[in-house]
């Protein structure tokens, strides 16, 4: 990995960003000793997301540093200070959550894959961030994932009540959020909160990213746009149809279909399985 990528730089306090020759960006979050998320980290991430729109960036991996921690949760110290200043809280209103929601939407709407390599504890605002990523790969080990805010006298405010239910169903999400239950990586996999559990989540994330970088970039962007269309079924079908047309027009579409048709029909299923 190279440290010369224009999407990062030495001025960043919370994120160390590198990019390899395949266009895979790796952003490591670091806020010792506990890796709590905070307003400064969110501001930096917003600037990075804007930079990652550049065509030389093909995939993004978010992970934590040092090993054993991802984004533990949002800084409760910052939340306590926010709640203590009643006048400021009333002035801002829902602005704190609205700003975080906008950040997460921008991350999700990147027209390239975003992979969360969950390298350790991932709760509260950290888990909420991963729910907007395309893949979630948890590190195997004695770590926990969940939304435990109720134990602190508050509730999720960074999209957790909405996104977790959409992912695993309202009944399961209600149990986890109302009771503040924490999950081991394997339990999170069983419930569908994460896609994979790996002994080396970052290396596994790189493997997934390399596979994705070998595919039609416009096809990836079109799939994401259709999957995440914020609309009803009719609107979603229209979004899919528009994205399909755009992808069919892309330079990689015709050669890709021609390569498939050049395979002996009896071998095509195996060819597809190999990717």
Closest CA to 113 of 206, 4, 9: 206
C-alpha angle 86-158-54 in degrees, rounded to nearest 5: 120
* pLDDT at 230 (0 to 100): 87
Around 152, how many Cα atoms within 13 Å sit in the side-chain half-sphere? 17
Query: In the chain, what are the domain boundaries?
Result: 15-213, 217-274
Q: Cα(26)–Cα(19) distance, rounded to whole angstroms?
A: 6
| CATH superfamily of the 15-213 domain | 2-enoyl-CoA Hydratase; Chain A, domain 1 (3.90.226.10)
Report residue 142 as tokens. Answer: 């004695």
pLDDT in tens, the chain (275 residues): 455 554 666 689 999 999 999 999 999 999 999 999 999 999 999 999 999 999 999 999 999 997 788 999 999 999 989 889 989 889 989 998 999 999 999 999 999 999 999 999 999 999 999 999 999 999 999 999 999 999 999 999 999 999 999 999 999 999 999 999 999 999 999 999 999 999 999 999 999 999 999 999 999 999 999 999 988 878 878 888 888 888 898 898 889 889 888 999 889 888 888 87
Instruction: Go through 92-106 and write b for each residue having 16 or more CB atoms within 10 A of its CB, e for each that does not.
Output: eeeebeebbbebbeb
pTM: 0.89
């Amino acid at each position: 990995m190279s440290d010369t990528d224009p999407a990062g730089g030495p001025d960043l306090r919370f994120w160390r960003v590198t990019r390899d020759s395949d266009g895979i960006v790796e952003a490591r979050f670091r806020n010792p000793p506990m890796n709590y998320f905070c307003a400064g980290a969110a501001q930096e991430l917003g600037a990075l997301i804007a930079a990652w729109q550049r065509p030389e960036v093909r995939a993004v991996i978010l992970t934590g540093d040092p090993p054993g921690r991802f984004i533990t949760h949002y800084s409760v110290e910052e939340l306590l200070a926010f709640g203590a200043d009643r006048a400021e809280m009333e002035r801002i209103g829902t602005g704190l959550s609205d700003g975080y929601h906008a950040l997460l939407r921008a991350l999700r709407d990147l027209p390239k894959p975003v992979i969360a390599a969950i390298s350790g504890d991932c709760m509260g605002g950290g888990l909420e961030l991963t729910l907007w990523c395309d893949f979630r790969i948890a590190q195997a080990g004695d770590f926990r994932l969940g939304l435990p805010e109720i134990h602190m006298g508050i509730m999720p405010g960074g999209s957790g009540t909405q996104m977790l239910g959409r992912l695993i169903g309202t009944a399961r999400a209600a149990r986890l959020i109302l009771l503040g239950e924490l999950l081991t990586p394997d339990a999170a996999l069983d419930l569908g909160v994460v896609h994979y559990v790996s002994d080396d989540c970052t290396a596994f994330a790189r493997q997934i990213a390399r596979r994705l970088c070998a595919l039609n970039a416009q096809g990836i962007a079109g799939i994401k746009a259709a999957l995440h269309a914020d609309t009803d079924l009719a609107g979603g079908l229209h979004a899919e149809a528009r994205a399909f047309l755009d992808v069919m027009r892309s330079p990689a579409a015709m050669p890709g279909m021609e390569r498939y048709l050049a395979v002996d029909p009896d071998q095509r299923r195996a060819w597809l399985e190999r990717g």
